Amino acid sequence: MPLNHLGISVWITDSEGNELPQYDIKLVDDNKIECWIPSTEGSNFKILWKILNPMPRLDLAVYPYLDGVAMTGALRLMANLYPGEFDAHQTGPSTVRLYEFGKRLLTDREDAAKPSDTQLQYLNTIVAKFSWGLVGESRPNSDYRIPQEAAPLNEKLAKKGHSGSAGLGRAVTRARLATRRREFLPSSEPILFTFRYAPRDWLKARDIIPNSPRPSPSPQLKPKRERSFSPDVIDIDDLHTDDEDIVVGKHLWEVIGDPHPGLDLCAFPYLDGVELTGSVLYQKNIAKREVGQLSKEPIGTSTAQLYEFGRRVLTDKDNGIKLDSSRAKRLNTIQVGFVWGRGGDSRSKTRFEMHEDIGPIHEKTAKKGHAGAAKLGKTVPIDKATRCNFYPNKTIKKVKFVFCYAPEDWLRAREIIMDTPEPDSQNSQRTQKRACSNTSETVDVDELDTDDDEIQFIKHLIPVPIANKKQRTTTRERTVQPKVEDD
C-alpha cells in the first residue's frame, strides 16, 4: 500500500514493478511521513509516485535522495501532472546508472571518514521530496553530476544501523533523456516521504516486521451458495481474522435470534467517514450464535493494517483541508452498516484500495470536536486475502450504527459520561463475556452502495482509551445514553 500524504502517493518497487511492503508507518510532522521497507542486496529498485490532489495553479518539482545523496529529479507542469517513476540517475546525454541496494564498506580505522550528524541521519534511507512552486527558464543541460562512491565508514558509527546501502549500480544506455534543465521557484515547504530500508531478517529481529502467525488448518470446501434473485452484485473480499494473539480495537456484533432465515449478514465499516473493507457472517454461523468482528484492513495478499485510535494532524495554514459540513460531521465517528443477502464463492484477491489519511485538517473545521482520529495503524501478517461477491436483498432495510468517540476526560467535561452512586454489591451481577468465535467465516467487503434514505441510524458516544496508560479501576458505573435519530 503506497504512502499517501497531503494529496501525494509514493511507493517503492523492485525492478519488476512489485511493490515492497511497508511497515511501521509514522507521520513525523505535518510535511513528513516515513516507513520501513525490506531490501535485498544486489537488487535494483524504483521510486514511483502520483498526484492525487494537485495544488491549483502550481507546478511540481520532485527530488529523490539515496542515503542523503541527491539524484536526478523531475518537473511536472501544472497541466501535466501525470504519474512519475525514478529508477536511475542520469550520467550523460544517453546514459544512466540504475538504483541498487548494496553493501556499505565498513572499517575499524580511526582515520576513516566521519560523516556529519545530518549525513548519518540519512544513511539507509530513500527519500522523495515534493515541492510545489513555479517553473522558470530553461537552459542546456551540459553538467552531469556523478555522485562519488561512499568512502568506508567507521564501524562504530554504523553499530546502531546495518551495513546496507542504496546507491548506483550498473550503467545502461537510454534514448530520449533530458537535454535541458529548468529553474524552479518553490512556494511552500517541501513534503518528504522517507523509506527506511533494511534486510528482512534485520527488520524481523527488531519486530518491525511481525512474525507470521501459526498456519491455520486448511479450510474445508463448502458447496456453492444459492444466488439471490436480486440483480445487484457487490464485490467483496475475504479476510481471515483468527488472530487471538493480537489485542486491538475491534468492531464486534451479534445477531439476536434469526430475523431473516437463510440469509447472510454483511457488515461494512467507516472510520471517520472513510469506507473500509467489510465482512460477512454466514447463516450457518448465525445459527450457532457466533460473533462477527472487524479489526483490520487488508493492504496486500498477506498483510493488513489494524484499526487504531490516534491523533489527527491539525493546522492553521491556508492549505489545510477544510471539510464540508457533511464530511466534518463524520469526523470522530466509527460507523458500521449492515445489509442482509447472500455471500458467494471466494477467489484470490489481487487488487487493494488505497486509503488516504484525512489531513492535515484546518483547526477551524475541528474546533467543535477534538483532535482524536480513528485510522489504520500497525501492519500485521495475515494468512491470505481472498474476495467474493455479495448479493443484497433489496426488500430488507439497511441499518447503520454510529459510534461517536472521544477521550474519557472530554466526555466527562460535557457530562456525556455521568457519575452514578455506587451500586449495591449484593444486587450487582457480572455479565459473562461472549467469546469471539474462532471458526466463523468472515468475508471482507470492498464496495457497497447504500441509499441514505433507507438507512436507520443509531448513535451513541464511547470513551476512547488513552494509549500507554494503565486502566484505572473504579467502583462507580459510567452510564452512556444512546439515542436514535433519523437521518
325 and 372, same structural domain? Answer: yes
Instruction: Select from 205, 221, 250 the last residue of a domain.
Output: 205
Within 10 angstroms of residue 207's Cβ, the number of other Cβ atoms is 10
Residue 464 lies in a domain: yes
Same domain for 282 and 378, yes or no, is yes
What does the alpha-carbon distance between residue 69 and residue 102 come to, in Å, rounded to a whole number?
Answer: 15
* One domain, residues 168 and 258: no
Residues 51 and 109 in one domain: yes
From 186, 205, 224, the end of a domain falls on 205
3-state helix, strand, coil in the chain (%, to 5): 5, 45, 50
DSSP string, 94-135: SEEEEEEEEE--EE--TTSB---HHHHHTTTEEEEEEEEEEE
How many CB atoms are closer than 10 A to CB 487? 10
Each residue's pLDDT, cut to its tens digit, for the chain (487 residues) gives: 788 888 899 999 999 999 999 999 988 888 999 999 999 999 999 999 999 888 888 999 999 999 999 999 998 988 788 899 999 999 888 899 999 999 887 777 776 667 667 778 888 999 999 999 998 887 877 677 777 766 666 666 665 667 888 999 999 998 877 777 788 989 889 999 999 999 999 999 888 998 765 443 433 333 333 333 333 445 455 433 333 333 334 567 777 877 888 888 888 898 888 888 888 888 888 888 888 888 888 888 888 888 989 887 777 766 555 566 667 788 888 999 889 988 877 777 777 776 666 667 666 666 567 778 888 888 888 888 877 778 888 888 888 899 998 888 888 888 888 766 555 555 545 445 444 444 444 444 444 444 443 344 444 555 665 544 444 444 344 444 455 454 4
178 in the same domain as 36? yes
Same domain assignment for residues 245 and 190: no
Both 188 and 249 in one domain: the answer is no
* pLDDT value of position 422: 54
Q: What is the pLDDT of residue 157?
A: 63
Query: How far apart are alpha carbons 298 and 421 in whole angstroms?
Result: 45
Question: Looking only at Cα atoms, what is the longest distance across the chain?
Answer: 88
Q: Is residue 225 part of a domain?
A: no
- pLDDT at position 100 is 95
Q: Supply the range of the domain harboring residue 160.
A: 3-205
Quick count: other Cβ atoms within 10 Å of Cβ 295? 21
For residue 214, tell me if it sits in a domain: no
Judgement on whether residues 238 and 170 belong to the same structural domain of the protein? no
Q: Is residue 373 part of a domain?
A: yes
**Whether the Cβ atoms of residue 164 and residue 124 lie closer than 8 Å to each other:** yes
E-only strand ranges, 326-416 = 333-348, 361-362, 372-381, 385-392, 398-407
The helix (H) or strand (E) run that includes residue 76 is strand 74-76
Q: Per residue in 413-428, is it b (16+ CB within 10 Å) or e — as a string?
A: eeebbeeeeeeeeeee
> Do 200 and 251 lie in a common domain?
no
Q: Is residue 218 part of a domain?
A: no
In a domain, 82, yes or no: yes
Asked whether residue 9 is assigned to any structural domain, the reply reads yes
201 and 253 in a single domain? The answer is no
Cα separation, 351 vs 168, whole angstroms: 32
Question: What's the confidence (pLDDT) of residue 251?
Answer: 62
Overall domain count for the chain:
2
In angstroms, the CA 354 to CA 32 distance is 19
Domain end marker among 189, 205, 221: 205
pLDDT of residue 97: 93
Whether 410 and 350 map to the same domain: the answer is yes
Flag whether 31 is in a domain: yes
What DSSP line would sit under 285-349, residue for residue?
HHHTTPPEEE-EEE-SSSEEEEEEEEE--EE-STTSB---HHHHHHTTEEEEEEEEEEEEEEEE-
Same domain, 466 and 338: yes
Q: How far apart are CA 290 and CA 281, in angstroms?
A: 8
